[in-house]
Amino acid sequence: MIDWKARIKNPSFWISVIIAVVTPVLAYMGLTARDITTWGAVWDIIKGAAANPYVMLMAAVSVYNAVIDPTSPGLSDKSKKEDGKDGKL
């Protein structure tokens, strides 16, 4: 089972999710961060991405890759016991 409570509290999780969404959108549209200079441009990018099923699929795949734990089988996180970190010194 994925430990959502621990992930939600972890800033690096949120950074990886944001990057996972933003990167495919900017790459598909051929943009860089320098091209986004106004809030209107941000809104246009969001609308364009939401209207494009391919971009939405690529963003979803990227988020999936950011969420899964590649060191454990399936979609679950390693337990602390499996990881060797059972809290004992």
For the chain, which residues make up each domain, given as ranges?
4-67
Does 87 have pLDDT greater than 50?
A: no
Q: Is the pLDDT of residue 4 over 90?
A: no
Say yes or no to pLDDT of 89 above 50: no
83 pLDDT higher than 80 = no
Six token digits for residue 67: 């969420």
Distances from the Cα of 84 to the Cα of 12, 28, 72, 78, angstroms: 22, 41, 13, 10
pLDDT at 34 over 50: yes
43-72 mean pLDDT: 91
One-character DSSP codes across 61-75: HHHHHHHS-TTSSTT
Q: What integer best gives the mean pLDDT of the chain?
A: 85
Q: Does residue 88 surpass a pLDDT of 80?
A: no
pLDDT score of 39 more than 80: yes
Averaged over 38-53, what is the pLDDT? Answer: 94
For the chain, give the number of residues.
89
